[in-house]
Amino acid sequence: MVLWEFIVITGIVFILLELFIPSMFFLNFAFAAFITAAISLFTADILTLVIIFCLFSFLSFLFLRPLLLKRKGKELETGINDKYIGKRAKVIEEVSRNNGVISIYDERWNARTEEDSVIPVGTEVEIVKNDSLIMYVRKCD
């Protein structure tokens, strides 16, 4: 087996590990392995290739991993994002700063106000933001 083939197979193994253990950890090694494989076409010095692999692994942890984690974090959000922001809902349990429930699209959501006011049952409210599974609302004008 040629050296570059071995390094490419190592990179593929790192990708498979990333698929089974999604942590954005092994992907950095795969990236470094593929670059090292390309460089191994020009040199067969093992020490040089090990240093290149370590260097690119370190650089990808510094620069690539934060970008990937930022992207991954967006995918792990509740999925609500801005879907409900600005929409109107109806209060089905009195909403205050500490508790309350609204209904929108026949869905039941925990709700809060950012002010110290209390919004009574039956009032129409506007959703101003969401924090995980809690909607923050204000009375409609």
Domain ranges for the chain, please list them. 3-75, 88-139
Distances in Å between the Cα of 40 and the Cα atoms of 6, 10, 19, 47 are 10, 13, 26, 11
- Residue range 94-113, pLDDT digits in tens: 998 888 999 988 888 999 99
- Residue range 45-71, pLDDT digits in tens: 999 999 999 999 999 989 887 777 776
Q: Where are the beta strands (DSSP E) in the chain?
A: 88-93, 101-104, 107-113, 124-131, 134-139
Nearest to 137 by CA among 124, 77, 107: 124
**Mean pLDDT, range 11-29, rounded to an integer:** 88
- Could you tell me the fold of the domain covering 88-139? OB fold (Dihydrolipoamide Acetyltransferase, E2P) (2.40.50)
